[in-house]
Amino acid sequence: MLFHSPYEAAAWSVISARAGHAQAVKLRDALGETFPPPHELLQLQELQGLPANKIPRLHGIAQAALEGKLDREPLLAKDPDVAYTELQELPGIGPFYAGLILIRAVGTTDVAPKGEPRLENAVQARYGRPIGEVAEIWRPFRTWISVLMRANA
């Protein structure tokens, strides 16, 4: 699944964290037919089934979007490692979800995902070395090689 925008991917990341896929989809759908723009998401005070601690995180994502921190072009123009690190500064966004945003919403083609045990295990099994050592030889297509490694794991 590709996301319409980094903002939507970041909000999905907060909604889906520690939730089953079906529950997360139900919560996302409860927000409306189309995902609400940031100024509307800031108005959200509660959503049945969504833990209360996620509301401030969603507000933080909305605020970041309004400040331009989730605009696709500036994220794409940055060094992928810098963008990856900056995305983790957003509330509720850790290594896995920063990678999701970069790959499935920004469209970065040269980032080695971090914090993905399945990929790390596949690389270790294939190369006998950690992904950090191997991924450099995959430049400039680290993203796509990572996707293929996961698919074949």
**Where in the chain are the domains?**
6-106, 117-151
Please state which architecture CATH assigns to domain 6-106.
Orthogonal Bundle (1.10)
Q: CA-based diameter of the chain, in Å?
A: 50
Stated pTM of the model: 0.81
Six token digits for residue 145: 């090689």
- 92 touches 54 (CB < 8 A): yes
- 70 touches 6 (CB < 8 A): yes
The model's pLDDT over 30-87, given as tens digits with 9 standing for 90+, comes to 777 778 999 999 998 988 888 999 999 999 999 999 999 999 999 999 998 899 999 9
Six token digits for residue 45: 């005070």
| C-alpha distances out from residue 45 to 22, 24, 40, 55, 57, Å | 22, 18, 11, 7, 12
CA 129 to the chain's CA centroid: 26
